[in-house]
Every structure is written in structure tokens, then in C-alpha cells.
């Protein structure tokens, strides 16, 4: 089906469908070797000023969904500070290029958000650069497939997943709040895994369920302050994390009713909407972008 002509109006054939070539990479993965190459909206995303003058902080902005969100935010008029791991600085350079070409400020920051002090320095840097934080996107995540079950999940892996996916979200939300004005927005990335966990992603799915609860609780806590908190639950998305952490890439995303994985470009508009004034009455919501998999 990969050879079918792609129809931009048909969500089934708009992007490549499995089967894909089997491909493996070392963690954290690299965009360049991926086949088919991910689409971040480089040629398709057109901004309309929805985030004009806003200041955004985004974790995991070097590739995948994060890169697509950084690009979309910039084309909508926002300046973007985004994080990456030190090993991902080459990937981050491409995100910087895309944001800069959109006429906005890009501030890449290599750091390890598993450490509380690194999160504190991240927020300090954002305030130093921008003066405030209008949008915080907690997007960075770690996963590692363990088909052999819970016995194969080491304490080291479990700790890394929890600290990357949960602790960092908690620290950054708490530290950013004094700098988020009324009308500001926090957006967290959860997953279809929060509701339909795959056994080989047990620890990852656990964190994604917790992100849903955290989002809905924090939203109620901050509503009276005029700060909205929402989350997006993607289904399978074609990012470097897949060849870096999944044993089989050939049929990735085929299980979705649309028959294919999403491209990062298909996730970004949801983040833009939730960050924009158009979503002013939307808080404590989980936007499901799963390619047709029904969720609660």
C-alpha cells in the first residue's frame, strides 16, 4: 500500500501506510534514516497569527511531535524555547532552523529533565529570554519496549520512564506557574496507551495514565487563576522513538482504524488550538488523536 497514490483529502491515503521497511536505531533515534521520512509540516503548515507574540516552552522539541509543534507555534507567531538531550543537539539544529525561518526566536536548550535542578534552570532560562511563559508543553517522554514482560523491566528503566514522563511534568508545571499569566496554557502529551495499554509498554503506559489524571486535577486547581490545562492523547505516530524503541517497525500503526500511523504534522494543530484564545473555555480536556481508536 505504500505505492498507492496519496490523496491529500483522504485521511487513509494522505500519508504512507504500512508495511514499512524494518529499521532499528539506537536510542534516542534520528530523523534522517527513517523510511518513510516523517512529515513535520515543513511544506504544509500555514500559520494565521493564532499565537502572535506568545512565548512557549516545549520539552522534547528536537524531533517528532515536538518538532512539528515548535514549527507550528512559530508559524503562528510564537517564540519557542525547546529542550533536547545533549545527544540530540544535531536534531535540535533543524528545529531551530525551522523556527528561525518562520521569523521567530528559537532557543534550543540541551538538558536532562529527569533532574529537578535542570528543570529549575530551564524555567529560569525561559524567563530570562522571554520575561514570561504563555505556553508550557510537557511533551518529552521515554519508552522502551519489553516484550518479555515485567521481569525484563529493570528498576533503572522504570525510574527513567517515571522521571522523564512524570517527575519532569510535575517540576516544570510547578516552577513555570509563577511566570504564566492569565490566559496562559499548559498542554501535556499523554497517549492512547493511557486507556489501552500494550503489555510490552507497561511502565510507559502507566505514566501516560497518570498524565491524564494530573492534567484533569491541575486544570481544576488553576481554573480560577485563568490558566488552562489540557492534554493530547496521540495514537501511533511515526517518530524516531519508534525505530529506537520498538522491535518491529514494519506494521507500526496498521492497527489503527485509519490503517496507518499519524505523521507529527497531524498532531501539531491540536496543540496550536489548545494554546490559542479560541480554546478559552476548554480546560481539563484530553484531545484524542488516535486515528479512529475509540477512547473513554
The residues that are catalytic are 204
- Tell me how far apart the alpha carbons of residues 274 and 186 are, in angstroms, rounded to a whole number: 9
**For the stretch 79-97, what's the b/e string if a residue is b when 16 or more beta carbons lie within 10 angstroms of its beta carbon?**
bbbbbbbeebeebbebbbe
Amino acid at each position: 500500500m505504500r505505492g498507492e497514490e496519496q490523496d491529500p483529502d483522504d485521511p487513509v491515503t494522505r500519508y504512507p501506510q504500512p508495511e514499512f521497511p524494518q529499521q532499528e536505531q539506537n536510542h534516542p533515534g534520528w530523523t534522517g534514516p527513517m523510511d518513510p521520512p516523517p512529515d513535520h509540516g515543513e511544506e504544509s503548515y500555514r500559520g494565521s497569527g493564532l499565537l502572535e507574540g506568545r512565548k512557549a516552552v516545549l520539552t522534547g522539541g528536537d524531533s517528532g511531535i515536538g518538532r512539528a509543534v515548535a514549527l507550528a507555534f512559530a508559524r503562528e507567531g510564537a517564540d519557542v524555547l525547546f529542550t533536547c538531550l545533549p545527544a540530540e543537539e544535531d536534531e535540535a539544529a533543524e528545529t531551530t532552523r525551522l523556527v528561525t525561518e518562520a521569523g521567530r526566536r528559537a532557543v534550543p536548550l540541551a538538558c536532562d529533565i529527569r533532574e529537578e535542578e535542570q528543570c529549575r534552570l530551564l524555567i529560569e532560562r525561559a524567563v530570562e529570554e522571554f520575561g514570561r511563559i504563555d505556553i508550557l508543553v510537557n511533551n518529552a517522554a521515554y519508552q522502551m519496549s519489553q516484550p518479555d514482560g515485567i521481569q525484563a523491566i529493570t528498576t533503572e528503566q522504570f525510574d527513567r520512564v517515571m522521571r522523564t514522563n512524570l517527575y519532569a511534568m510535575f517540576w516544570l508545571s510547578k516552577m513555570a506557574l509563577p511566570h504564566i499569566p492569565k490566559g496562559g496554557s499548559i498542554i501535556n502529551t499523554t497517549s492512547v496507551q493511557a486507556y489501552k495499554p500494550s503489555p510490552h509498554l507497561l511502565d510507559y503506559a502507566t505514566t501516560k495514565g497518570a498524565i491524564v489524571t494530573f492534567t484533569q486535577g491541575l486544570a481544576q486547581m488553576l481554573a480560577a487563576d485563568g490558566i488552562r490545562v489540557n492534554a493530547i492523547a496521540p495514537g501511533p505516530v511515526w517518530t524516531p522513538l519508534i525505530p529506537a524503541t520498538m522491535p518491529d517497525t514494519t506494521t507500526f500503526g496498521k492497527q489503527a482504524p485509519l490503517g496507518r500511523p499519524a505523521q507529527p504534522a497531524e498532531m501539531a494543530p491540536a496543540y496550536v488550538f489548545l494554546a490559542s484564545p479560541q480554546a478559552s473555555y476548554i480546560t481539563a480536556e484530553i484531545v484524542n488523536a488516535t486515528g479512529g481508536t475509540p477512547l473513554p
